[in-house]
Every structure is written in structure tokens, then in C-alpha cells.
Chain A
Amino acid sequence: MTPEPARPLDDARTLDDATRALDVDALIDDAETRIVVCCGSGGVGKTTTAAAIGLRAAERGRKVVVLTIDPARRLAQSMGIDSLDNVPRRVKDVDGDGELHAMMLDMKRTFDEIVEAHADKERAEAILGNPFYQSLSAGFAGTQEYMAMEKLGQLRSRDEWDLIVVDTPPSRSALDFLDAPKRLGSFLDGKLIRLLMAPAKVGGRAGMKFLNVGMSMMTGALGKLLGGPLLRDVQTFVAAMDTMFGGFRTRADATYRLLQAPGTAFLVVASPERDALREAAYFVERLAADDMPLAGLVLNRVHGSGAAQLSAERALAAAENLEDNRIVDQGDGKEAVRSSPEHSATPETSETPTEAPRPGQTTPDPRDAPDAPAGSAAPEAHETHTDADASEEQLTAQLTAGLLRLHAERMRLLDREQRTRDRFTSLHPEVAVTEVAALPGDVHDLAGLRAIGDRLAG
């Protein structure tokens, strides 16, 4: 066996100098920070991160509301709330002077509220009862994103909370929520809407004459495509919404500016996997292009090892060694260990073998020899073994081999995570990063969220 020096890469499970560490506590303690937006691809622990940050900020004295979009039931339960709805509910058993409130976006309810707030009663009823509106508010691509931003704007303007933590929708593109307000805004006061409204008004509009396709042909084509009744529903809807269009546009713009304002901080959440980090890199670039303030990257579910000095290759070789010997032992109990250079997976052969101590030997060795090569395991000891001893010894060897295989698996995972992470940091060295160590199970209660918060804060 040849010793292998511990590689610095394996030891460095903390951030290296090249990467800035993200100081989560500084961010949430800063009274200037009023909005934290958590974004990232699906399945990376975005919602849990948002809840953990909210709880931590509350327990550090701030009055916090967490706006989740699509929480797992379990997460709501972990905050002691059976079901979350469209109004903030106070979370009990939060330590300290702060407060934590949580709510879940109800897309349709939020849309209805806007209509009710901006149209007189009669008109509001007409809109709410329109079949086209009912579909639009419940399902169209982007409503959820738009309504999340709308809700954020509402919460912020009430000025009731020190800090609003937002979890973004699991969009097909993680960036839909940035585009949705603009898209809806530009649709609602766009040319098409005016065209659709035209038949409901008198004549058309003079401004439409630049179109070289006849108006009747256009509405005719739309009518053919959508079917007459649907087109009429759309036209009625659009006419009823007419007075609100300006409002939508203004609000969409205001929300967009709110996201760019100082006081807003974006956290990109990812797990150390290729796809998640690719999406994260895309996010970082898009936020920069839109002048959105990025606070940093939260890297969830990072694995570590207390025995990182032992590489996967060496652990596997040792496991094989133990398993081979079990078979050999059945023949004669003498040779406990074969000297097996073919099992050595590492090229390093710099150290000379030292005499290995016998089991139980306690004489201190001045050399620290964690990688002392296998010498012997006191062959004569085996001769005194009874059958029971032998079988127990076999069990231990089997157990140890299992432990080593488990470790090898862990080390491979570590390596892979490190490589993916390095790829991201070399692409975006300017992004501050905090790593959250993987938990073996899911989060079930405030204590679990607190533990994540501790890990987030490093």
C-alpha cells in the first residue's frame, strides 16, 4: 500500500479564497434590506431556503413576512400552519422579539382583488363573471408570475413589514417572473387589444390604418381561429377591462423598478448539480442584464466528510483488500493481509513503508502516520482465535469494508460537487457564495428550519 497525501481539494470543504463568502446575517440584519427574492430552478430547496431565511431574520428581531408560491404542505406544517392562504398568518413559537408571518399566493384571489379595487361594482361583476377572465386569471402562462410580483408590490406598499422574503414560482423558465409584468403590461395596452376592442367601439381607430391587412380580414381570421363566441367573450372582457389597462401598465413598471431598487436583494438558490448550477449561472447573467441587485448564491445540499484525507480510490482498494482476506482466511488464518500493490490506485510511492504497530500497541510513535502503509496485522494472533472469534472478525471485516465503500461513494460525490461548483465560480468569480450542508432527512418543524438557517449563515 502506498500512502497518498491528502489533497488540498478534499480538505477544502470551506470556500477558498477566490470566492467571496455570502454573509447572510449581515444581509438580513441590515435595516435597509426590505425584500429578499429567492430564485432558482425547481427542486433545489428554494422554498425551504426562503422560509429558513424568514425565520432567522425574525429571530434576529425583524418583522418578517414570507411569501411562498407553491409550498409543499409539509413546509407549511413545519411553520405550524396547516394551510397557507392569501393573507399573512403569524407563525407561533418564534424566539426573540421579531415576528414571522407566512402566506401563500392565491393567484385567482389576487387577480380578483385587483379587479375589485379598480373597477366599479357593476363593471367588476361583469369582469369576474366573464368566461375568458375566469380562464385567464386561473391559468394563463405568466399569471402566477405576474400575481406574485403584484402581491409583492402590495405587501411592500403597506409598509407593515421590515422584511419581505419571496419565493419565486417554479416556472418553465426560472426567469418568467421578471418578464411577466412587462409581458402582461405590453399585451394589455398593445395593438392587439385595441384591435379586439375596435368592433365593440364605434368604427375602428384612425391609427390602425397603417396596417396593410384589412381590419375585417383580421377579426375574421381571429374569429375563425377562436370561434365566434370566444371572440365575443374576449371583446367584452377587453372592453370591461379598458379602464384598468393604464393601471396594469403602471403597476407592472412600478414592480419592476421595486425589484431594481436598493433594499431588494436577490438570492440565487442552487444545488451542486450540473443543471441547477447552469440555470443559476443563467440567472446571474440575466439579473445583471436587468440591473437587479444580486446578493449571492445559496448552494444547498453540499456534502462533506470528516475523513476527506482518505480518497475514494484508497477506500475502495482497502475494502477489496478486506473482502479478499475474508476468503483467504477461510483457507488458513495466517496471512491476514496480502501485500497488494495491484490494489493501489494511486501513483504516489514516495514514502517508504514503516513498520506497522501491532493491534493494541500503545507505544507513541513520534511520526504522525495517518497513512502508514499496511505492514502486518500480527499473524500469530490468529492462531489463538476460536471459531466464534473468527466469525466475529469476519463480520467486522465485512462491516469495515462496507464503511469504506460508503466512504468511497461519499468522496466521489464530493469530487463531483466540487467540480460543478468550480465550473460555476470560474464563470462568475464575483458572486458571493454560501454553502448549506446536506441534511439526511426533510425539514419538519421550526427546529429544522432553524438548523438550515444556522447552516446558511455559515
Chain B
Amino acid sequence: MSRLQVVSGKGGTGKTTVAAALALALATEGKRTLLVEVEGRQGIAQLFETEALPYEERKIAVAPGGGEVYALAIDPELALLDYLQMFYKLGGAGRALKKLGAIDFATTVAPGLRDVLLTGKACEAVRRKDKQGRFAYDCVVMDAPPTGRITRFLNVNDEVAGLAKIGPIHNQAQAVMRVLKSPETAVHLVTLLEEMPVQETADGIAELGAARLPVGRIMVNMVRPAPLDETALRLGLDRPPRKAIAESLSAAGLGDTRRGGGAERLVEPLLEQASEYAERYSLEEDQRAVLTEFGRPLHELPLLSGGMDLAGLYELATALRKQGIA
């Protein structure tokens, strides 16, 4: 199993949710995982219903079987000051750099430096060992930028290593790239069964492949239940037995079948919903077929009808475990 699991996907597909569920799923049986956030959105805190996360690894959840999930919101500015302190003992000068706008420059304006710091911090957590020489975390899960930016984000170290041809940034960038391009890393893509996210997944796989970054699994999120099977759909839509349906509805206690009666008035709207469902169902089947062709392990996570909450997160983690993700 890869020790750095990067979760990307089109905006709105539920990357953060899937990353969190994955961190929970991988933490079972006494394991310890770290869930990192790199976009300063505090999405993890919102998901776990805690206050905003500081730049500090802290335990946010316990997995079934005694495992632990830690979380960290990486702040590029603090990460940079960390580095300066670690490598140069630049305490005071660090503050002066900040006053000059150099830190702001490095973390927001300078090409790629921000991303180098973010991926660098995650890789540091992957490699970190405790005094007994065991890895501090069994696995690090990153809630990463969306598919449109993921390749540049992960590959920025290559670019930076080329730009800064010598010096510590160069070395750092190269060390990070060694982790990211190894089997230690897997980049998972979250999608929905809709055309645009599936198209982005295809683009993402191609781009990651071209940059020789390891593509992991495809996670189909928010899969809706299928209350009508295909036989029923065909029967219901080809020549809907309106009268019989009305009778059925009436038999189930939903009013009477004459014109304008409770049951009769339900028939058309229910059939209309079924026809919308059929259209969506066939589109979803098409997209599922496209996803299968990518030849990557495919996982499906159900849409939680009550909306997303902590209980739902555990539900998704269980689903992932059942699908053999760990």
C-alpha cells in the first residue's frame, strides 16, 4: 500500500470527504494516519465538526478497532518559517524577511514555492520516524488541489529544481520528487457519474501519466441508489400501465383512482420522475463504462440522503474498507 495517498478530483465532487473517509478507513486495526489539507479552506475541521485546525498535527478521530486519525492544515507561510528555522536558524532574520514581504513573496507570488512547501511538508510526514525507527504515520492522506491543477501542483518540484539549479530549495525539490514519483505515492481521482467530472478524470489520468506521477484508484462519489431496476423501468416507460399503477397506489392507501383522485393525480408526476431517472440512469451507465475503460481500480461511494455529517463519514469509511481499500 502506498504511504502517501493523494486525493484529487473536479471541484464539487467531494474530494475532502473522500480523503477524510480514506484516512479513517486506513486507520483501522490500530494504525495511525495523517490527513493533510493544503488549500487553507479548513474543510477538514468543518467535516469533523471541530474548530479550525492550527498548523499542528492533532488527533481528530478514532477509527473502529483503535486506530487514530490525525489532521494537519498546512500553512505555507509557517511551513517556510519552519524550514528557515530548521536549516538556517534564521529566527530573527525570518521576522525581518516577513517584514520585507519576502515570506509573502515566497508563499504567494514566487513560482511554485508555495506548492514546494506544501508537498514538502507532506513528504516530511511520510518519511518521519519515531525513536524506535518506526514510521510516525502508517499512511498520509492529502486532500489535494482539484484535477485541473493537480499535475502542476505535484510536479512543481521538478520545475523548481530546474529553476533553482543549486541550493537547498533545489535539493528539497528533488527529494520531494523522489517520493512523489515512487510507488510510495498514489494519486486517487474522485469523480461523479457525470460527463464533465469523468472527462476531467480522463484528462487528469493522461496528465499525471505524462508527468510520470502514479495514478491510483478512481473513486466514484455520491452514487445514487437505484430504486427501479431495468425491467421495471422498461415496463414503466415504454407503455406505462397508468390505470394499473393508479390502482396499485390506491391499494397502498394513497387515494382513489378516478380522475382527479389522490392516486390518479400521482401517476403522471411519478412517471415523469421515473423518466428523468431513466435518462440519468442511462447517462450514468455510459459514464460508468467510460470509467471502467481506464483500467484503474474503481470504487463507488453512496450518496448519503441525509447530507454529509460525521456519521456519514464513518459510513463511507466502512464502504471503502468493504471494497478492500486498505
Query: Pick the contact of A404 from B199, B256, B270, B277 — CB < 8 Å?
Result: B270
CA distance A223 to B228 in the complex (A): 66
Contacts of A441 in B (CB 8 A): 195, 279-280, 283
Min CB–CB distance A212 → chain B (angstroms): 7
Does B235 contact A395, Cβ atoms closer than 8 Å? yes
Contacts of A14 in B (CB 8 A): none
Contacts of A318 in B (CB 8 A): 249, 252-254
Interface membership of A260, Cβ < 8 A: no
Does B195 contact A74, Cβ atoms closer than 8 Å? yes
Does A187 contact B256, Cβ atoms closer than 8 Å? no
Segment 10-31 of B: residues with Cβ below 8 Å from A: 10-13
Given A173-B41, A211-B96, A371 contacting B262 (CB threshold 8 A) = yes
Does B102 contact A370, Cβ atoms closer than 8 Å? no
Interface membership of A33, Cβ < 8 A: no
Contacts of A400 in B (CB 8 A): 245, 248-249, 252
A360 to chain B: closest residue by CB: B257
Interface membership of A192, Cβ < 8 A: yes
Does A41 contact B167, Cβ atoms closer than 8 Å? no
Does B252 contact A374, Cβ atoms closer than 8 Å? yes
Contacts of B257 in A (CB 8 A): 357, 359-361
Does A357 contact B245, Cβ atoms closer than 8 Å? no
Min CB–CB distance A211 → chain B (angstroms): 7
The segment from B130-138, B179-187, B300-308 that touches chain A is: B300-308
CA distance A400 to B108 in the complex (A): 58
CA distance A450 to B279 in the complex (A): 20
CA distance A226 to B106 in the complex (A): 10
CA distance A370 to B200 in the complex (A): 47
Contacts of B167 in A (CB 8 A): 223-228, 230
Segment 167-203 of A: residues with Cβ below 8 Å from B: 170, 172-173, 183-184, 186-187, 190-192, 195
B171 to chain A: closest residue by CB: A227
Min CB–CB distance A226 → chain B (angstroms): 6
CA distance A442 to B104 in the complex (A): 41
B248 to chain A: closest residue by CB: A400
Does B273 contact A403, Cβ atoms closer than 8 Å? yes
Does B266 contact A322, Cβ atoms closer than 8 Å? no
CA distance A136 to B160 in the complex (A): 11
Segment 290-312 of A: residues with Cβ below 8 Å from B: 305-307, 310
Contacts of B277 in A (CB 8 A): 406
Min CB–CB distance A9 → chain B (angstroms): 17
Contacts of B104 in A (CB 8 A): 187
Contacts of A213 in B (CB 8 A): 92-93, 96
Contacts of A142 in B (CB 8 A): 108-109
Contacts of B305 in A (CB 8 A): 409, 412-413, 416
Give the A-B pair count, Cβ closer than 8 A: 274
Interface membership of B269, Cβ < 8 A: yes
Does B261 contact A1, Cβ atoms closer than 8 Å? no
The segment from A23-31, A79-87, A88-96, A214-222 that touches chain B is: A214-222
Contacts of A357 in B (CB 8 A): 256-258, 261
Query: Pick the contact of A218 from B46, B97, B273 — CB < 8 Å?
Result: B97
Best-buried of A173, A307, A360, A362 by chain B (most CB within 10 Å):
A307
Interface membership of B225, Cβ < 8 A: yes
Given A43-B10, A318-B249, A409-B305, A370 contacting B265 (CB threshold 8 A) = yes
CA distance A42 to B195 in the complex (A): 15
Does B245 contact A306, Cβ atoms closer than 8 Å? no
Query: Pick the contact of A377 from B93, B224, B247, B276 — CB < 8 Å?
Result: B247
Contacts of B269 in A (CB 8 A): 305-307
Min CB–CB distance B143 → chain A (angstroms): 12
Contacts of A406 in B (CB 8 A): 227-228, 270, 273-274, 277
Does B262 contact A402, Cβ atoms closer than 8 Å? no
CA distance A359 to B111 in the complex (A): 74
Interface string of B224-239 (1 = CB under 8 A from A): 1101110010011000
CA distance A359 to B251 in the complex (A): 9
Does A221 contact B88, Cβ atoms closer than 8 Å? yes
Interface string of A6-25 (1 = CB under 8 A from B): 00000000000000000000
Contacts of B265 in A (CB 8 A): 307, 370
CA distance A212 to B96 in the complex (A): 8
Min CB–CB distance B34 → chain A (angstroms): 21
| A-side interface residues, number (CB < 8 Å) | 103
Segment 272-325 of A: residues with Cβ below 8 Å from B: 274-276, 278, 305-307, 310, 314, 317-319, 321-322, 325
A186 to chain B: closest residue by CB: B101
Interface membership of B164, Cβ < 8 A: yes
Given A184-B109, A306-B269, A412-B305, A368 contacting B260 (CB threshold 8 A) = yes
Does A405 contact B100, Cβ atoms closer than 8 Å? no
Does A70 contact B227, Cβ atoms closer than 8 Å? no
Does A403 contact B271, Cβ atoms closer than 8 Å? yes
Segment 392-412 of A: residues with Cβ below 8 Å from B: 392-393, 395-400, 402-407, 409-410, 412
Interface membership of B209, Cβ < 8 A: no
CA distance A271 to B262 in the complex (A): 33
Does A183 contact B108, Cβ atoms closer than 8 Å? yes
Interface membership of A424, Cβ < 8 A: no
Best-buried of B43, B247, B252, B258 by chain A (most CB within 10 Å):
B252
CA distance A397 to B248 in the complex (A): 6
Min CB–CB distance B200 → chain A (angstroms): 8
B43 to chain A: closest residue by CB: A275
Q: Which residues from chain A sit less than 8 Å from chain B, CB to CB? A: 1, 41-44, 70, 72-74, 131-132, 135-136, 138-142, 170, 172-173, 183-184, 186-187, 190-192, 195, 211-213, 217-218, 221-230, 233, 271, 274-276, 278, 305-307, 310, 314, 317-319, 321-322, 325, 336-337, 356-357, 359-365, 368-374, 377, 392-393, 395-400, 402-407, 409-410, 412-413, 416, 420, 440-442
- A-B CB contact pairs (8 Å), 27 listed: A44-B12, A135-B163, A142-B109, A170-B11, A172-B40, A173-B40, A184-B109, A222-B102, A225-B84, A227-B168, A306-B273, A307-B265, A317-B253, A322-B252, A364-B258, A369-B255, A372-B261, A399-B232, A402-B228, A402-B229, A406-B228, A409-B225, A413-B305, A416-B305, A440-B280, A441-B195, A442-B195
- A184-B109, A406-B227, A410-B273 given; name 12 further pairs at CB < 8 Å: A43-B10, A211-B96, A211-B100, A212-B96, A218-B93, A221-B97, A226-B169, A318-B254, A370-B261, A392-B244, A440-B276, A441-B195
**Shortest beta-carbon contacts, A-B, top 7:** A43-B12, A42-B11, A374-B253, A227-B167, A306-B269, A1-B253, A135-B111
